[in-house]
Amino acid sequence: MSKNNSTSNGSFLDKVKNLTDTSLLLTITIVIFVLMYLGAIIFQGGGFLKVQTFFNILNANAALIILSCGLSLVMIIGGIDISVGGVTALVSMSCAVYLDNMGGNVYVSMLIALAIGVAFGAFQGALVAFLDIQPFIVTLAGMFFARGMTTIVNSDPFNVANEGFNELKMTRIYTPFGSTNAKGVYVPAYVELGVVVALVIVILLFCLLRWTKLGRSFYAVGGNKESALMLGINVKKTKFIAHLMCGTLAGIGGFVYFLHVGSGSPSHATGAEMDAIASSIIGGTMLTGGVGNIIGTFFGVLSLSTIQNIVASAGLDEAWWTGITRAVMLCLFLIIQSVVMARKHKK
């Protein structure tokens, strides 16, 4: 019996044969990421071998990981949310203004961030789920609103001077890994607080999607809405929850972003929604819904930023190269997905 149980140990061959769409795409993502990173180590040399290089990728992208997780959730139910970048900017600016201009407390500012995220998620979710409005339009409006509000809250960028905040910002968690620097001194590698938050979220969401009924309902709704309804799933509620969670994650991600950059600015997180969508897709989430995996999304973010690091360290650091590389990467993965799925379903 256990042989047929995907959660326990079937033989390796069995597993490859019976891969679901989700795990197939996930496998591709991880393999390509590992190859890419190995390639970077071989051709770009030392830098990528250092643990800190890898951790820096995490540090810089903790917020993106969280945003991408949210995107994956709504994409699995067959929706989309393009407001997350705007929400991030709004959260940063609101928290910055609260902390500096109003002399606020850093922990209260977390609540503000969360509240903004929940509000966006709940409102957008309600429109999408209960009024059946296309998520693209709703969240497009959400993005407009968040960006506009950011400017209204404060139109000029500024760095936060609040002490409690900066203390939190500078908190580093040292790990048992490390390397020796140029002077031969051993330096332990560190991660920022945001990375811990991101990892916890990744693990929680992975469990949610894999084992809970709510998680499986996400897949059901994304796979076939009508069928899900017939199976007795509350489709509207499921959709609402997905959007609510995405909004909430955007709030949390926004705060992590804020914690990383330490400033408020209307131009913060420009295009973050596109990066998050791209990461989810690279991670094997299909925009048609019903297929996707949080671990994949995690690797999607890493792949996207690793390739950027490779390009930068290859000396092509003009701004346009970043844009072009990202696009090529996305294009590649989209075509891989399209070809793989077409092959698989033809059989």
Partner 1 sequence: MKDGSVLEMRNIHKSFPGVKALQGVDFTLRKGEIHALMGENGAGKSTLIKVLTGVYGKDEGEVSLEGKGAISIHSPQEAQKVGISTVFQEISLCPNLSVAENMFIGRTDGMYQNWKKVNSETEKILKSMDIPATATQQLGSCSVAVQQMIAIARAVDTNCKVLVLDEPTSSLDEQEVEKLFKVMRDLRAKGVGIVFVTHFLDQVYAVCDRITVMRDGQLVGEYEIKDLPRPMLVSKMLGKEMDDMSDIHGEFQTYKPEKGVAPVFEAKGLVSDAGIKPFDFHINKGEVNGFTGLLGSGRSECVRAIFGADRVTGGKIKVKGKEAKISKPIDAMKNGIAYLPEERKVDGIIGDLSVRENIILAQQVLRGFFKPFSKAKQYEIADEYIKLLSIKTASADTPIKSLSGGNQQKAIVARWLFTHPDYLILDEPTRGIDVGTKVDIQKLVLKLASEGMSVTFISSELDEMLRTCSRLVVMRDRKMVGELSGEDLNQNKVMSTIAGGDK
Partner 2 sequence: MSKTNNETSFFKKLVGQQFFIPILVLLVLVVFNLIADPSFFKIAFGTNNAGNPVLSGSLITILDNGSELAILAIGMTLVTAASGGQDISVGAAVAIAGSTLLRVLCGSNSRPDELQAPIIVAFLVSVVVAMLFGAFNGVLVAYFKIQPMIATLILYTAGRSIAAWINNNELPIVPGETFTYFGGFIPGIPIPTPVFIAIACIIIIALVLKFTNLGLYTQAVGINESASKLNGLNPALIKVASFVILGVCVAVVGLIKVSRISTINYSVVAKDIEMDAILAVALGGNSLAGGKFNMAASIIGAYIIQFLTTTLYKYKVPADALPAYKAVVVIILVVISSPTVKDWFSNLTKKLKVKEVA
List contacts with partner 1 (CB under 8 A): 1, 4-8, 18, 20-22, 211-214, 216-217, 219-220, 222-224, 226-234, 290-291, 345
Cβ-based nearer residue to partner 2, 34 or 314: 314
324 binds, among partner 2, partner 1, none (CB under 5 to 8 A by kind): partner 2
Max CA pair span of the chain: 67
60 binds, among partner 2, partner 1, none (CB under 5 to 8 A by kind): none
What is the C-alpha separation between 140 and 136, in angstroms, rounded? Answer: 6
At 173 the three-state DSSP class reads strand
Can you read off the two tokens belonging to residue 103? Answer: 């002399």
Q: How far is the CB of 140 from partner 2 (least distance, A)?
A: 6
Q: How far is the CB of 129 from partner 2 (least distance, A)?
A: 10
Q: Which stretch binds partner 2 (CB under 8 A): 43-51, 139-147, 190-198, 291-299?
A: 139-147
Closest Cα partner for 329 from 347, 306, 309, 304? 304
Q: Which of 134, 159, 175, 212 binds partner 2 (CB under 8 A)?
A: 134
Closest Cα partner for 302 from 73, 24, 57? 57
Contact 30, 301 (CB under 8 A): no
What is the C-alpha separation between 12 and 104, in angstroms, rounded? Answer: 55
Please name the helix (run of DSSP H) or strand (run of DSSP E) that holds residue 188, with its range, or none.
strand 186-192
212 binds, among partner 1, partner 2, none (CB under 5 to 8 A by kind): partner 1
> What DSSP state is assigned to residue 172?
E
Query: At residue 271, what are phi and psi to the nearest 5 degrees?
Result: 75, 10
Q: Which of 104, 117, 247, 266 binds partner 2 (CB under 8 A)?
A: 266
179 binds, among partner 2, partner 1, none (CB under 5 to 8 A by kind): none
Instruction: Give the C-alpha distances (Å, rounded to integers) separating 287 from 80, 196, 219, 258, 338.
Output: 8, 28, 12, 28, 11
Q: How far is the CB of 213 from partner 2 (least distance, A)?
A: 26
Cβ-based nearer residue to partner 2, 139 or 293: 139
312 binds, among partner 1, partner 2, none (CB under 5 to 8 A by kind): none
Chain positions 152 to 171 lying near partner 2, rule: CB under 8 A, are: 152, 155
What is the C-alpha separation between 276 and 58, in angstroms, rounded? Answer: 15
Q: How far is the CB of 134 from partner 1 (least distance, A)?
A: 17
What is the C-alpha separation between 170 and 319, in angstroms, rounded? Answer: 28
Pairing of strands 172-180, 186-192: antiparallel
291 binds, among partner 2, partner 1, none (CB under 5 to 8 A by kind): partner 1
Instruction: Give the C-alpha distances (Å, rounded to integers) separating 121 from 143, 153, 342.
Output: 12, 20, 34
Using CB under 8 A as the binding rule, whether residue 60 contacts partner 2 is answered as no
11 binds, among partner 2, partner 1, none (CB under 5 to 8 A by kind): none
Please name the helix (run of DSSP H) or strand (run of DSSP E) that holds residue 58, with its range, or none.
helix 51-76
155 binds, among partner 2, partner 1, none (CB under 5 to 8 A by kind): partner 2
Binding site for partner 2 (CB under 8 A): 80, 127, 130-134, 136-138, 140-145, 147-149, 151-152, 155, 266, 271, 274, 277-278, 281, 287-288, 318-324, 326-328, 330-331, 334-335, 337-339, 342
